[in-house]
Amino acid sequence: MDHMGTKTLETSRLRLRQFREDDVNAMYENWSKDEEVTRYLMWPAHKSAEISRMYIDSLIHGYEKLNNYNWGIELKEIGQVIGGIGAVRLDENVESVHIGYCLGRQWWNRGITSEAFGEVIRFFMDEVKVNRIESRYDPRNIYSGKVMEKCGLLYEGTLHQSDYNNQGICDAAWYGLLREDYYLHIGL
């Protein structure tokens, strides 16, 4: 893989960029304090902006590493981050990244997560040259699965009671996209 770190990516509506210290309030207000947003995530809703600050500080320190990929999803129209997307796990041996994402509830069902994920997929395939992109979700969170399908990931199976989130022990539906399938799908 050709690691290059969390570089800024753009789509028509979005700027995917490194988190900054001045994103704390937007993160807290737009998604991290919302228990509905974190319902199926592995981290609880933030009880204060200070928790969001500590999280962003940890991300900023991680940007020093070229194999660190964590983007704030900035909606260009308002100039604020409204969610996050990144590689929550990276495996050099099989050249794969595991992608996680979340978005503020106010922006659900507008295709924003799919737009962000699609650009992240393009970046990882074309620039980083990964062999595999994968993600998983709790099957009760059907909209997360729809994002994966819309972005071209293929269903690989469900591991029963193999995961944990804010709802407790849960199933995990796994999706993946191989480099060869990505290029076959886009016709290269």
Nearest to 85 by CA among 77, 107, 94: 107
Q: Which residues are bridge partners to 159 per DSSP?
A: 172
Count of domains forming the chain = 1
Q: Is residue 4 part of a domain?
A: no
20: domain CATH number is: 3.40.630.30
Residue 21, number of CB atoms within 10 A of its CB: 9
pLDDT, residue 184, reads: 87
pLDDT, residue 187, reads: 56
Q: Is residue 177 part of a domain?
A: yes
Q: Is residue 141 part of a domain?
A: yes
Whether pLDDT at 188 is above 60:
no
Q: Is residue 3 part of a domain?
A: no
Q: What pTM value is reported for the model?
A: 0.95
Average pLDDT over residues 14-40: 98
Return the half-sphere exposure (C-beta side, CA atoms, 13 A cut-off) of residue 124. Answer: 28
Q: State which residues form the domain around 64.
A: 9-186
pLDDT, residue 185, reads: 77
Q: Is residue 175 part of a domain?
A: yes
Tokens of 105: 């509830």
Percent of the chain with pLDDT over 90: 97
At 133-185, the pLDDT tens digits run 999 999 999 999 999 999 999 999 999 999 999 999 999 999 999 999 999 87
Q: Is residue 139 part of a domain?
A: yes
At 171-185, the pLDDT tens digits run 999 999 999 999 987
Quick one: the chain helix, strand, coil %, rounded to 5?
Answer: 35, 30, 35
pLDDT, residue 39, reads: 96
